[in-house]
Amino acid sequence: MSANPKRLDRIDIGILNQLQHNARITNAELARAVNLSTTPCFNRVRALEKLGLFKQHVTLLDPEPLGLSINVFIQVSLEKQVEDALQRFEQAISEQPEVMECYLMSGDADYLLRVVMPDMRALERFIIERLTTIPGVSNIRSSFALKQVRYKTALPLPSAGLTLVDPNGNRTEWE
């Protein structure tokens, strides 16, 4: 029960999907893609922006030619899972540029990291000099990705009728 559970129609969702795949599309192109004229399309984009739906517009680089194609998943256990230890770990991990993703996992109360590395030497140094030196880290297990089969950033949106989750309560509805 929130004040304004904003709903997105199929045009809004079309706009989001276009932008998810091309952040540099011009307003004119975007308008054509969703069957609007430029003015209302422009207004909708601004409205979606004001709703805070856009996190960032980013350029994805190809890791291959840059020599950063090694993906390693690292599972990290902490000695004691008190709130304070978790916070310090998360802080420390967020300062490492090689850490692309970090999740607090259920079950073992572990962390799961995805890191990118140029070679094995760098991985070794990262683990020894940057991970094990974080206070509270007790166990580390790493597994290598032989191949990145899929990597995408576009969220799977429904085709129409999406009710936004209000910041406090959580009413989501798919139609």
Partner DNA sequence: CATGAAACGAACAGATG
Partner DNA sequence: CATCTGTTCGTTTCATG
Q: With contacts defined by CB under 8 A, name the span among 30-38, 53-61, 77-85, 130-138 that binds its own copies.
A: 53-61
166 DSSP assignment: P
Pick from 34, 32, 50, 18: which is nearest to 154 by CA? 18
- Closest approach, Cβ 2 to its own copies, in A, equals 11
Task: Measure Cα distances from 151 to 62, 120, 145, 147, 155 in Å.
Answer: 11, 22, 12, 11, 12
Instruction: Tell me if 50 contacts its own copies by CB under 8 A.
Output: no
Q: Does 27 bind DNA (CB under 7 A)?
A: yes
Residue 172 near residue 163 (C-beta atoms within 8 A): yes
- Cβ-contact 12, 163 below 8 angstroms: no
Interaction between residue 156 and its own copies (CB under 8 A): yes
Q: What angle do CA 145, 112, 143 make, to 5 degrees?
A: 30
Instruction: Name which of 40 and 135 has its Cβ closer to DNA.
Output: 40
Q: Which of 1, 3, 50, 59 binds its own copies (CB under 8 A)?
A: 59
User: Which residue of 41, 78, 113, 123 would you call a contact of DNA, by CB under 7 A?
Assistant: 41
Contacting range for its own copies; rule: CB under 8 A; set: 27-35, 36-44, 127-135, 152-160: 152-160
Member of 80, 139, 153, 161 binding its own copies (CB under 8 A): 153
Q: How many CA atoms lie within 13 A of 21 on its CB side?
A: 9
Using alpha carbons, list the distances in angstroms from residue 77 to 19, 86, 135, 141: 38, 10, 11, 9
35 binds, among DNA, its own copies, none (CB under 5 to 8 A by kind): DNA
According to CB under 8 A, which one of 2, 22, 26, 138 is a site residue for its own copies? 22
Is residue 93 a contact point for DNA (CB under 7 A)? no
Site residues, DNA (CB under 7 A): 11, 25-29, 35-44, 46
